[in-house]
Amino acid sequence: MPNDYFKFKLFTIEQNDCAMKVGTDGCLLGGWFNCTGSKRILDIGCGTGLIAIMAAQRCDAEITGIEIDSKAARQARVNADNSPWGNRIEIINGDLLEYTSEKHFDTIVSNPPYFINSLKCDNTSRTLARHSDSLNSRTFFKKCSEILSEDGRISIVIPCDIIDEWKDAAMEHNLYPTRTTFIRTTPKKAPKRVLIEFGYGTQKESEENILTLEFTHGEYSDDAKKILSKFYLKL
C-alpha cells in the first residue's frame, strides 16, 4: 500500500505525518468492536484517526479521539474533516492520563502501545506510539475506569502473549472479558493477536472464537469479510 495514504470505500486516511501507519490490527478492531447503542465513544491513541472514523461510519455516536503526538493529532483532524462524519468527531492532542471529561463514555476503544521490552527507536513519535512507558495496562484501565459509564465497554487489540497481563490489570477495576476473538493470519498459523471486549461485572466465561484472516494470500475468510467489507475497497 502507498506509504502516505490508505484509501477505503468511503474515506481516505492520510498518514505521512503519523509514525504508526494503517495496519490490519486497527482495521479489525475498528470493524469488530461493538458500537451498538453507543452515544459517546472514546478512541485512545487515535493515531491517524482510523478507528474513530470507522466508528463514525458504523454508528451515530459522538466520537472523541485522543492522541499524545501533535503531528498525528493534526493529521487525524484533517482525516476526520475530510470524511463524511467530521462534524461528529473531536480530536484532542493530549495525554490520556491528564484527560478529564464531565460526561462518561459508554464505549472506549484502543489499539494501545504494548512494545514494553522492544528496542526503542530514534524517532520520538514512533516511540510514543509503540511503547507502553507512559501508558501501560494498569494505567490504561485505571484511567478508563474513571471515564467509563457503569454499563460501558472497552475493546482493545493486543498480542496474545500479553493477554494475561491485560486481563489482570482489568480485573483490578472489576472489568472482565465479555467477548474475545483470537486472530490468526492463516489456518495453519497460531493466533498472534487478540481482540478483547471488557465490561463491568463478576468474572464469567467470555464468548471466545478464532478468526482466520486469509485462507490463501489475498483470499479473505468470510469472517474477515464481515468485519472489513464495509471498508476495504476490494472486498
Q: For 138-163, what is each residue's pLDDT tens digit?
A: 999 999 999 999 999 999 999 999 99
Q: What is the mean pLDDT of residues 210-223?
A: 91
Flag whether 121 is in a domain. Answer: yes
What's the number of domains the chain is made of? 1
pLDDT by residue (tens digit) across 16-67? 988 889 999 999 999 999 999 999 999 999 999 999 999 999 999 999 999 9
pLDDT, residue 126, reads: 46
Amino acid identity at 91: I
CB 79 within 8 A of CB 143: no
Compute, in degrees rounded to 10, the torsion defined by CA atoms 71, 115, 4, 31: -100
**Residue 7 resides in a domain:** no
Specify if 8 maps to a domain: no
Over range 196-209, report the average pLDDT: 86
pTM: 0.90
- Domain contains 21: yes
Q: Which residues form the domain of 200?
A: 16-228
Question: Is 219 contained in some domain?
Answer: yes
Task: At 161, give phi and psi (nearest 5°).
Answer: -75, -5
Q: DSSP letters of 132-173?
A: -SSS-HHHHHHHHHHHEEEEEEEEEEEEGGGHHHHHHHHHTT
Task: Give pLDDT, residue 201.
Answer: 87
CB contact burial 5-30 (16+ within 10 A = b; e otherwise)? ebebeebebbbebbbbbbeebbbbbb
Q: Is residue 196 part of a domain?
A: yes
Does 126 fall in a domain? yes
CATH number for 108: 3.40.50.150
pLDDT at 114: 57
Domain annotation covers residue 2: no
* Average pLDDT, integer, range 199-217: 86
